[in-house]
Structure 1
């Protein structure tokens, strides 16, 4: 991949199929506090950080018995439990990362997820030791679509933003990567969605490593 030195992956929905687990964890925890968790708000909450989701539901159904921080930690703990007990690996991701590493590319992870979830998730899918840098929006003033988490990842990798390719599955994540000045590859996982139109390239699956690598090479 001439001119490109690193590939930065979003985590949820790209490295690990954890989005249904987040949904379940949030339902379990918030429902126990009297929140009426409605599907109509899913398009809004699924792009938020855990802190933002907790604040969102508290504004609608304020509870009195426990702090927002403790509720957030309960959600995180529940997600970790679900990750550890469910088959949530994205097919082909390890082999794809191994091929990138073999070509001398650095690999980063940039996610809105809290840091506490990241190591267990990466270990679950068997890629933790392949990652050169991890960036969590927990340590930024704003999560995606703000570019901060991607800029932090490039700094940790010691690679200029324009030398990075980002693999994303969400519209807000693609906005963040674009704003950071990075090339964006949309991971569609076989789905068609208008939000992928923002990407420079699209990638359907990782399990065909030759096709996946061709897309990344083209993006250079």
Structure 2
């Protein structure tokens, strides 16, 4: 393995509560009823996909889809800036990978403008050789395009890349790109591990033997 590519949400930062809060605040203000059976479906969608999803079910008149998407993104950025919530051990772990000669990439379904806020808050912005958001490709995860683009920019063949993911859709994207997958569980006992080549419970374990 020559490169390690990180997912962001749930791997670098515990951001799911931020997205849930922002989406609830914004969509509720527009008259959307966020029922749990539907919010479970939107967890792996991109921000614009989530916005379109709720608009189709509860159409509003006051704002465009782009404006509503921007409202959600801005609120998430505020919460990240105020609260943080980076995953324990992430800075040490990435520094160790860099010192061992790995190239480091990031591939996330989140909008690009959120990425610098997260990386700066976690103190790891300087370690990344490539950063990609799903907004640069036609389809987000589970489509493999974002991982293929990241490996191309890193200059590393997909078979020499290993991906750290915390969701089934992300792992599926990485496997379809021809990469090895580490399932980062972080206490999640319900994560489907069927696609994972390896499993990590925590970055505090420093399981660098996986990356040799």
Q: In which range does the TM-score fall when normalised by the shorter chain?
A: over 0.9
> Aligned pair 1:95/2:96, yes or no?
no
> 2:208 is matched with which residue: 205, 213, 216?
213
Q: Which residue of 1 aligns with 2:7?
A: 10
> Structure 2 CA distance, aligned partners of 1:119 and 1:194?
27
TM-score (norm 1): 0.94
> Structure 2 CA distance, aligned partners of 1:172 and 1:98?
27
> Aligned pair 1:63/2:60, yes or no?
yes
> 1:179 is matched with which residue: 176, 179, 184?
176
Do the aligned partners of 1:188 and 1:196 also contact (CA within 8 Å) in 2? no
> 1:116 is matched with which residue: 113, 118, 136?
113
Report matched runs for 1:149-168 at 5 Å.
Answer: 149-168=146-165
Do the aligned partners of 1:8 and 1:165 also contact (CA within 8 Å) in 2? yes
Q: Which residue of 1 aligns with 2:140?
A: 143
Could you list the per-position Cα deviations for residues 5-51 of structure 1 after superposition, in whole angstroms to 9, with x for gaps in the alignment? 10000000001111110111111110110101122222210000001
Q: Which runs of 5+ in 2 are unaligned?
A: none
Structure 1 stretches of 4+ with a deviation exceeding 3 A read: none
Secondary structure of residue in 2 paired with 1:135: strand
Could you list the per-position Cα deviations for residues 155-195 of structure 1 after superposition, in whole angstroms to 9, with x for gaps in the alignment? 11111100100000000000000000000000000222251
Do the aligned partners of 1:136 and 1:149 also contact (CA within 8 Å) in 2? yes
> Structure 2 CA distance, aligned partners of 1:111 and 1:144?
8
> Structure 2 CA distance, aligned partners of 1:194 and 1:49?
20
> Structure 2 CA distance, aligned partners of 1:216 and 1:27?
39
